[in-house]
Amino acid sequence: MKFFKLKFFILLFSIFISVIILTIFEPILNADTLIFPYSLHPFDIAKNYPQIWYNTKVIFRINLFISDFLILNSISTFLKFNKHLKVKKKNKVISVENISSFNLLIGINSDTQEKIFIPEKGLYQNILVTGTIGSRKDKFCNVSFTKAIDGMLKS
């Protein structure tokens, strides 16, 4: 029900904005003559092509309402999305007792000083290591993981 109330409010607000914009552009839309200084010959679209001018005004009004509705809908979706992003998830506490026999220690969380492990299941999948140029990503991957896994297999 909340979803429909929001969409109804957006619909009413887009109609309101469209009416304001149409009020501003009313002198242009109701003009008897509208001369375009095209090249050397002035061109009056309202007198020379009245049907094209009428269709242009109708298309403008329809597109104005649709674009107002879509823009307001996008803004409301963006604001709702940002509100949901602010919710913090609690970090999962991993203690040494919860760790099975075959896990890979990859580091320590600098905020909580807890050890970070990759479980055995994660070692059979892809691992993404990111960092800036020269941050020794290759050395970390090749040396740390292989030595740690080798050390676990020997023990």
Average of per-residue pLDDT values in the chain: 77
pLDDT (tens digit per residue) in 23-51: 998 888 888 888 877 767 787 888 888 89
pLDDT exceeds cutoff 80 at 65: yes
Question: Rounded to whole angstroms, how far apart are CA atoms 113 and 91?
Answer: 13
Max Cα distance, the chain (Å): 93
pLDDT (tens digit per residue) in 81-140: 666 555 555 555 555 445 456 677 777 888 888 888 777 777 777 777 788 888 877 776
Q: What is the pLDDT of residue 96?
A: 47
**Domain parsing of the chain, residue ranges:** 2-85, 96-154
Q: What is the pLDDT of residue 84?
A: 56
Q: CA of 110: how far to CAs of 40, 81, 91, 107, in Å?
A: 73, 29, 13, 9
pLDDT (tens digit per residue) in 90-99: 555 555 445 4
